[in-house]
Amino acid sequence: MDLDTGAGLLHRLTSYEPGREWDVPVDDPRVRHDLVPNDPATLPPPMKGYPDGPAVLALPRDLPDPGVPATAVLAGVASPARPLDAAQLGRVLFLGAGVVRTAERNGRPVLYRAAGSAGARFPLEVYASTRGVAGVPDGVHWYDARRHALVRVAPAAAGAVTTLVVTGVPWRTGWRYAERGWRHLYWDAGTLLSQLSAAAASAGLAPRLRSLFPDATVRALVGADGVHEYPLALLSFGDGEPAIRPTGPALPGELPPVELPLCTAAQRAGERDVLGAPWPSAEPLSTFPPSDPLDEVVRRRGSQRRMDRSRTLPRALLEWPLAAALRGVPVPHWVAVHGVDGVAPGLYRWPDLSAPLRAGDLRDELLRVCLDQALAGDAAYVVVAAAPLSALDDRGYRDAQLAAGLVEGRLHLAAYALGAGASGMTFLDAAVPGLLAEPDDLAALLFTCVGVPEYRSRAGGRPGAPVEVRPVMPRLGGS
pLDDT exceeds cutoff 60 at 479: no
Contact 347, 357 (CB under 8 A): yes
58: alpha, beta or left? (left if phi > 0; alpha if psi -120 to 50) = beta
Which residues are bridge partners to 385 per DSSP?
A: 333, 446
Contact 1, 393 (CB under 8 A): yes
> What is the C-alpha to C-alpha distance for residues 4 and 73, in angstroms, rounded to an integer?
42
- Could you give the angle at the alpha carbon of 93 between the alpha carbons of 92 and 94, nearest 5°? 95
Domain range annotation of the chain: 6-270, 294-468
To the question of domain 6-270 being in CATH 3.30.360.10, the answer is no
> What is the C-alpha to C-alpha distance for residues 358 and 306, in angstroms, rounded to an integer?
26
Q: What is the pLDDT of residue 437?
A: 94
Pick the CATH number of 294-468 from 3.30.420.10, 3.40.109.10, 3.40.50.150, 3.40.50.300: 3.40.109.10
Distances 179 to 182, 183, 342, 394 between C-alpha atoms, Å:
6, 8, 41, 16
Residues 6+ apart with CB under 8 A from 434: none
> What is the C-alpha to C-alpha distance for residues 451 and 318, in angstroms, rounded to an integer?
10
Distances 415 to 20, 42, 219, 343 between C-alpha atoms, Å:
34, 36, 35, 18
How many CA atoms lie less than 13 Å away from 107 in the CB half-sphere? 3
- pLDDT tens-digit map of 198-237: 999 999 999 999 999 999 999 999 999 999 999 999 999 9
State which H helix or E strand residue 86 sits in: helix 86-97
pLDDT band at 91 (very low <50, low <70, confident <90, very high): very high
Q: What is the pLDDT of residue 478?
A: 64
- pLDDT tens-digit map of 296-316: 999 999 888 999 999 999 999
* Adjacency order of strands within the sheet including 139-144: 56-58, 149-154, 139-144, 124-130, 163-168, 230-237, 207-210
- Could you give the angle at the alpha carbon of 424 between the alpha carbons of 320 and 396, nearest 5°? 85
Fold match between domain 6-270 and domain 294-468: yes
| Amino acid, single-letter form, for residue 274 | V
- pLDDT tens-digit map of 325-382: 999 999 999 999 999 999 999 999 999 999 999 999 999 999 999 999 999 999 999 9
Q: What is the pLDDT of residue 83?
A: 96
Q: What is the pLDDT of residue 23?
A: 87
**DSSP code of residue 37:** T
- pLDDT tens-digit map of 412-455: 999 999 999 999 999 999 999 999 999 999 999 999 999 999 99
pTM, full prediction: 0.97
